[in-house]
Structure 1
Amino acid sequence: MFQKQGGVFVSGSNSTSIHNEITEIKRAPIMISLIMGAFFAILNETLLNVAFTDLIVEFNVSAPTIQWLATGFMLVVGILVPITALLTGWFTTRQMFIGAMILFTIGTIICGFAPNFSFLLLGRLIQAGGTGLLMPVMMNTILLIYPPHKRGGAMGTIGLVIMFAPAIGPTLSGIILEALNWRWLFFIVLPFAVFSIVFASIYLKNVSEVTKPKVDFISVILSTLGFGGIVFGFSSAGEGSGGWTHPEVYISVIVGIVSLILFVIRQLRLEEPMLDVRVFKYPMFALTAVLLIITMMTLFSTIILLPMLLRGGLAFTAFMTGIALLPGGLINGLISPITGKLFDKFGPRKLVIPGTIILVVIMYLFSNVTKETSIITFIVLHTLLSIGIAMIMMPTQTNGLNELTRNHYSHGTAILNTLQQVAAAIGVAFFISIMSTGQSRYLSGVDDPTSANEIANSMISGVQMAFTVGLVFAIIGLILSFFIKRTVAPDYVENEPVQKPLH
């Protein structure tokens, strides 16, 4: 049924047999397996951040050292995600998902019982290995078991997990740490991870085809150096451990960029590329990639800058800062399934264009905040921004992936997930740098730069400058949104039998 393209799929009875099996699969158990595993893996990504202060004291390490628990996590995910397109050709859906969850569970056990910082970091990196494999597997599976006209709702449900889990992470972490020590951040997650493995072992079905493509080790090395170097370099700059002039920052970024260029050139020359960059020949997929980068950078500007502004510039307590940011994160997750259903019905334009308009308006308002801005205003603005992002993220991503042929699904999902990781790392470093520049410019023009009041004012000035730059990105996103249009995969057949509905 499906023709071999780039050595990924085979034609004939084998492909037809797999397709017929997929049409008979019940989607509900598959979705439950995927959502359950991903929720706790992604939740754990933000669950630990609140405990950094406690960990610094317990393990007697510095703040830059403890940041490796976050930087290392992002680095491993950034390295692994591009390789998933290759791995999905070698392992079945069950093997990939259960293997990822076993990795995550082993990492969680090591973290929970870690006797020192080195073991905690090791466990964290193993957790990241599982998390890095999960997201592309989830999205690729959805593309395989749902026809294009039903993918929006399914992707919206995944969006709920992606946004809801990290939103409640800090709040849940605070509650746990109030009553128990930091180790329980891992112990509480552990039974759910084990249950997810057991559930998937029973109910998760194979929906991908094992084709065992040729492994090009040079591509693996270039991918690791390329994406790993960029993520590490920008993450290090964002931590403030030396800034852009520090050798570990600019050398890592340069090595990453050069390796990435060589990686792309090699993929274009290979008959069976590890990561098929030819997916960018599809115009809506290419547009999706750019919009996602802009949206992720804008999103991370608020994730990083708002807490700094609320605590450092406006003197909000940690509790009030958490309260101000929680509603936006929760609403973002809760409306993702709704935007998914609306995408199935109306297509991307009626969601993405209004979403980017909201983005532009809110970024403008954020760039004009002052000391007099109330917490209610911040809650409303952040909530509206979260709604706008929810209207852009999953609809855009689903529309871009819908344009791809079946043999490009794993490559498309790997590329988009990788770009989001890279955009997140770049966004954090970029906007912190702009904020710092704004602070320095403000303090250079005052009489007493050591005054607490002036330092607070400098924080507000720096954040205003960063949000102004974010506004420029939002405007670019708005312009691009007018070019988006609904897509259908070239090899999708409208009357082809599809899977049974959810049970």
Structure 2
Amino acid sequence: MEGSMKADSLGNRQETQQEAQQQYKVFPILFAMLLSGFIGLFGETALNVALTPLMAMLEVGPTTIQWLTTGYLLVLGILVPVSGMLLQWFSTRQLFTTSLIFSIIGTFVAAVAPSFEILLLARVLQAVGTALLLPLMFNTILVIFPIEKRGAAMGLIGLVIMFAPASGPSISGLILANLSWHWIFWISLPFFVISLVCGLLFLPNISKLTKPKIDVLSIILSTLGFGGIVYGFSSAGGHGEAGSGWTSPIVIGTLAIGVLSLLLFSIRQLKMKHPVMDLRAFKYPMFTLGLILIFISMMMMLSSMLILPMYLQQGMAVTALTAGLVLLPGSLLNGLLSPVMGRLFDKFGPKWLVIIGLADVAVVLFMYTGISPTTALSTIITLHIFMMVGISMIMMPAQTNGLNQLPREYYPHGTAIMNTLQQVSGAIGTAVAVSILSAGQASFLSGIANPESPENQLAGFTSGVQGAFVFAAVLAVIGLIVSLFVKRVKVGAEAKPEGPMH
């Protein structure tokens, strides 16, 4: 009898998915989501190469200008965790429209911003739009695609999530070489408008609104927890004059508040009947393993994306535009390969893709530990291409396999957890990498007779960069060990931690 009920339940679920597949205009929905997601995430890093000239133009120092990046990440860290609740309170069209309106207003204000304060406000508005859109994009894919076709669809999301922020510095470098920084935003604006029109025409309401009771204390604890951790690590990891350092009272205080608030938030969520972020999703083992692999991958990728351009400019004396172009082939290939990896995932499952990808990344990062001022740019480009190919083999399969194991009622919470940890991992990875770089440089210079000479300064900086890549290589080895336990989630078994094979 129980088996019959399971079969009926499975049959109904598959039938519902087939009906949904016929009902939804999948391509226009995907186009609207992916285009707006791409421009939103492009904006996350596009301003990075303009920060130095902006300091002179807006008459602010490095500590102040850093807020254009830190503020953006902080808003994401605060809003993304509560997105699971928002998905249950507001319809798909309401959230999509609100997200695009924030993005459009923020981008327009940034394009005309006359001062730093106005530009910072614009960045906050942009971040609100991106924070609402990312979980909505994942949740929509999970609903409109049946489990056996999700790999290819999630591969397209992978193209957006990986390529957009990676291409930001390169594209904005080209813009800045010919136009003013305002054009970074003027060029983005029409794409948001096109996405909004397309979404209004074709996007249906696909989420089921349960409108759970809003727990104000949980939202406060989530804001203090995730906000404190993102701000603390971002401040500690800032380099140059903008870096507060790990001994700063502000860094220690915000991290302590963040960790304590996060602990109280987690305890409260597990005791609530309708939590803001349902941490019971962690009882699904492939979801948890997928999260660990994504966390490690984002730390490796974002720390490398920070350290490598720094070394290219400061250690090898190339321009910001050249540094961006050196990283562009790998980033471009990573984006283009994500849909291919999605189809391979649908056909073969995640295990060998993830294992091969992590082995590839581990080898590349080990080779980066020998980087020096005499390393040929062609070698760095080749290594970066191999690393980004490996990352594309890890991220999408781990993500999709993990989300596939969740039952539908956990989709909003699963996507919220996954997107939140991506923001946190980026802050942690870059902070630790920069700290290792600084410590390695200081250690090298303390042991030599003439630390002020340019040759020794360069050698010290090189030593620090090599240490940061050792950290990333160790992460890759840990990820490789974790990947050995990954199993493919069977179709129809997504609603049960260890479901029967069908």
Note whether the superposition's TM-score is higher than 0.5. Answer: yes
Map 1:156-175 to 2 at 5 A: 156-175=155-174
2:30 aligned with 1:31: yes
1:190-339 residue pairs with structure 2 within 5 A? Answer: 190-240=189-239, 241-339=243-341
AA matched with 2:182: R
**How far apart are residue 316 of structure 1 and its match?**
2.6
The answer to whether the 8 Å contact 2:173/2:321 transfers is no
Change (3 A) 1:332 1:18: closer
Q: Is the CA contact (8 Å cut-off) linking 2:227 and 2:258 kept in structure 1?
A: yes
Report the 3-state secondary structure (helix = DSSP H, G, I; strand = E; otherwise coil) of the residue aligned with 1:314: coil
Query: Distance in 2 between the 1:430 and 1:168 partners?
Result: 23
1:20-169 paired onto structure 2 within 5 Å: 20=19, 23-169=22-168
Contact kept in structure 1, 2:228 and 2:258, CA below 8 Å: yes
Deviation, structure 1 residue 171: 2.1
**Letter in structure 1 aligned against 2:188:** V
Residues in 2 aligned to 1:375 and 1:180: alpha-carbon distance in whole angstroms: 27
CA-to-aligned-CA distance 1:242-290 (integer Å, 9 cap, x gap) = 2001111110010000000000000011000010000000111111111
What is the distance in 2 between the residues matched to 1:388 and 1:192?
Answer: 30
1:43–1:166 CA contact under 8 A, matched in 2? yes
- Partners of 1:462 and 1:111 in 2: CA distance: 36
Q: Distance in 1 between matches of 2:414 and 2:306?
A: 28
Q: Displacement of 1:429 after TM fit?
A: 0.6
Match among 374, 378, 383 for residue 376 of structure 1:
378
Q: Report if the CA contact (8 A) 1:314-1:456 is conserved.
A: no
Q: Please say which of residues 16-25 and 338-347 is displaced more in the overlay.
A: 16-25
Q: Which amino acid aligns with 2:85?
A: L
Alignment length (residue pairs): 479
Distance 2:180 2:338 in 1: 33
Does the 8 A contact of 2:303 with 2:426 survive in 1? no
Distance in 2 of aligned mates of 1:286 and 1:17: 27
- Structure 2 vs 1, CA of residues 397 and 18 (structure 1 numbering), >3 Å: closer, same or farther? closer
Are 1:160 and 1:335, in contact at CA under 8 Å, matched by a contact in 2?
Answer: yes
Tell me the equivalent position of 2:446: 444
Q: 2:415 maps to what in 1?
A: 413
State how far apart, in whole Å, the 1-side matches of 2:32 and 2:322 are.
Answer: 35
Aligned-pair distance for 1:72?
0.3
**What CA distance in whole angstroms lies between the structure 2 residues aligned with 1:128 and 1:302?**
23
Paired AA for residue 134 in structure 1: L
Match of 1:423 among 422, 425, 430: 425
> Contact conserved, 1:98 with 1:197, CA < 8 A, in 2?
yes
For 1:94 and 1:392, locate their aligned partners in 2 and report how far apart those are by CA, in whole Å. 32
CA distance in 2 between counterparts of 1:174 and 1:231 reads 27
Offset of residue 52 of structure 1: 1.1
* Partners of 1:23 and 1:145 within 8 A in 2: no
**Whole-angstrom CA distance in 2 between matches of 1:251 and 1:492:** 41
Q: Which amino acid aligns with 2:27?
A: A
Distance in 1 between residues matched to 2:347 and 2:251, nearest whole Å: 46
2:472 counterpart residue number: 470
- For 1:108-158, what per-residue CA distance to the aligned partner results, in whole angstroms no more than 9, with x for missing partners? 111112221111101100100000111111011111111111111000011
2 CA distance for matches of 1:322 and 1:343?
A: 30
Letter matched to residue 335 of structure 1: L
Structure 1 residues 242 and 167, CA gap change in structure 2 (3 angstroms): closer
Note if contact 1:18-1:209 (Cα within 8 Å) is conserved in structure 2.
no
> What is the rounded CA distance, in whole Å, between the counterparts of 2:100 and 2:416 in structure 1?
18
Could you tell me whether the CA contact under 8 Å between 1:18 and 1:207 is conserved in 2?
no
Q: Distance in 1 between matches of 2:84 and 2:414?
A: 8
Cα distance in 1 for partners of 2:471, 2:52 equals: 31
Aligned partners of 1:336 and 1:390 also within 8 Å: yes
Q: CA deviation at 1:300?
A: 1.5
Q: What displacement does 1:194 show?
A: 1.2
CA deviation after TM superposition for structure 1 residue 26, in Å: 2.2
**Could you say which residue in structure 2 is the equivalent of 1:7?**
none
The one-letter code matched in structure 1 to 2:463 is S
Q: 2:87, 2:207 within 8 Å by CA — same for their partners in 1?
A: yes
Kindly indicate whether the alpha-carbon contact (under 8 Å) linking 1:403 and 1:487 is maintained by their aligned counterparts in 2: yes
Farther-moved stretch of structure 1 (54-63 vs 271-280): 54-63
Give CA deviations for 1:67-89 in whole Å, capped at 9, x if unaligned: 10000000000111011100000
TM-superposed CA distance for 1:18, in Å, is: 10
1:214 match: secondary structure: coil
- Cα separation, 1, equivalents of 2:299 and 2:166: 17
Unaligned segments of structure 2, at least 5 residues: 1-11, 497-502
Q: Does the aligned pair in 1 maintain the 2:174–2:321 contact within 8 Å?
A: no
Deviation at 1:491, TM superposition (A): 5.6
Deviates more, 1:276-285 or 1:320-329: 320-329
Two-structure CA RMSD over aligned residues (Å): 1.7
Shift of 1:315: 2.4
Give the corresponding residue for 2:500. none
CA offset at residue 187 of structure 1? 1.3
**TM-score when scaled to structure 2?**
0.93
Q: Which residue of 1 aligns with 2:363?
A: 361
| Greater Cα offset, 173-182 or 344-353 | 173-182
Task: Please state whether the residue corresponding to 2:87 is helix, strand or coil.
Answer: helix
Q: CA deviation at 1:433?
A: 0.4
Cα displacement (A) at 1:17? 8.8
Question: In structure 2, what is the equivalent of residue 344 of structure 1?
Answer: 346
What's the counterpart of residue 499 of structure 1? none
Report the 3-state secondary structure (helix = DSSP H, G, I; strand = E; otherwise coil) of the residue aligned with 2:228. helix
Letter in 2 for 1:458: G
Shift of 1:295: 0.9
- 3-state DSSP of counterpart to 1:189: helix
1:162 alignment partner, SS class: helix
Q: Which moved more, 1:349-358 or 1:173-182?
A: 173-182
Residue 165 of structure 1: CA displacement?
Answer: 1.7
Secondary structure of 1:373's partner?
coil
Contact 1:310 1:316 in 2 (8 A): yes
Stretch of structure 1 that moved more, 206-215 or 394-403: 206-215
Identity %: 50
Q: Which amino acid aligns with 2:388?
A: S
